[in-house]
Amino acid sequence: MSVSRIALTAGLSAAALPVFAEAPGWDLLKGVTIEEVVTETTYEVKKGFPERLKNGVPGMELTGYAVPLTPGDDIRELILVSDMGLCPFCGSGEHGASVQVSLNTPIQGLEEGARVTIKGDMMPVFDPETWQAAVLENAVITGS
């Protein structure tokens, strides 16, 4: 059994803290706990959510760096990361917080690494087979 902080929404380090200070939503996400339980025959990811996140948080606003999930000009799905200097895709626990975002309307020409502010409904992910702890749904980009 191993215990760690959030997968797609954690792995905090001191370098990620300045973004958290600017966006309280990141603080909420870092409150999620993950416990990976592996036996000879089973695999389960147990998640503990802050009370405020258990039923979702409508209209949450986060500022971070956009990483489109698919190539092309029309972007509907992306990962928002708290700190581009700490790679969330490198397989290391030493990365900034991140969250998957589903935009209401596709946007064109979003550059990878662009700093954006996004508003949407933060929903917990209860699936016991993934470390993903939350997604931002029905989202719109409100600033850059």
CATH number of the domain at 94, please.
2.40.50
Number of domains in the chain: 1
- Rounded average pLDDT over 83-93: 57
Domain of residue 73: give its range.
2-143
Residues 6 or more apart whose Cβ sits within 8 Å of residue 107? 74, 75, 141
Q: What is the 3-state secondary structure (H, E, C) of 21-76?
A: HHCHHHHHHHCCEEEEEECCCCEEEEEECCHHHCCCEEEEEEEEEEEECCCCCEEE
Mean pLDDT of 21-32: 76
Predicted local confidence at residue 16, as pLDDT: 37
User: Quick check: 28 and 109 in contact, CB under 8 A?
Assistant: no
Could you tell me the pLDDT band of residue 89, with boundaries at 50, 70 and 90? low
Q: Please give the pLDDT value at position 73.
A: 85
d(CA 90, CA 110): 22
